[in-house]
Copies of this chain bind each other. A is one copy, B any other.
C-alpha cells in the first residue's frame, strides 16, 4: 500500500466509525423524524467508505473511480449532518469533510 493511501485509509476508517455511530445515535434520538435523511446518508456513506477502504488496500485498479463517488457521498452526508446540533452529527460532519478531502487526493 502506498504511503498516501495509508493516510487516506485511516481517514476512511474514522469516517466509517463516525457514520455508524451517528446512524445508531440518530435512531435513539427522541425526534427521529428529523433525522431520517441523516440515517439514510450515514448508511450510504459508511458503505461506500468501506468499499473504498478495502479497494485501496488491495491496490484495486478502481480506486480513483470509487474515490470520486465516495467524495460526493461524504459531502452530501457532511451537509446534512452539519444541520443538526447533536454532538454525533457534528462529529460525523467533520469526519465526512475530512474524508471528502482524502478522497480528493485519491482521484
* Chain A interface (Cβ < 8 Å from any Cβ of B): 1, 9, 13, 16-17, 20-21, 23-24, 27-28, 30, 32-33, 36-37, 39-41, 43-44, 46-48, 50-51, 53-55, 57-62, 65-66, 68-69, 72-73, 76
Contacts and interface: CB of A to CB of B under 8 A. Distances in A.
Contacts of A58: 20-21, 23-24, 40
Interface of A is mostly: helix
Contacts of A61: 37, 40-41, 44, 76
A60 B13 CA distance: 18
- Point out which of A21, A62, A76 has the most chain B C-beta atoms below 10 A from its C-beta: A62
Given A32-B36, A48-B66, A24 B59 contact: yes
Nearest to A46: B54
B44 A60 contact: yes
A27 B16 contact: no
Contacts of A46: 54
17 contacts: A9-B17, A20-B54, A20-B57, A23-B58, A24-B58, A27-B36, A33-B33, A39-B39, A40-B60, A44-B55, A44-B60, A44-B61, A44-B62, A50-B54, A62-B72, A62-B73, A68-B68
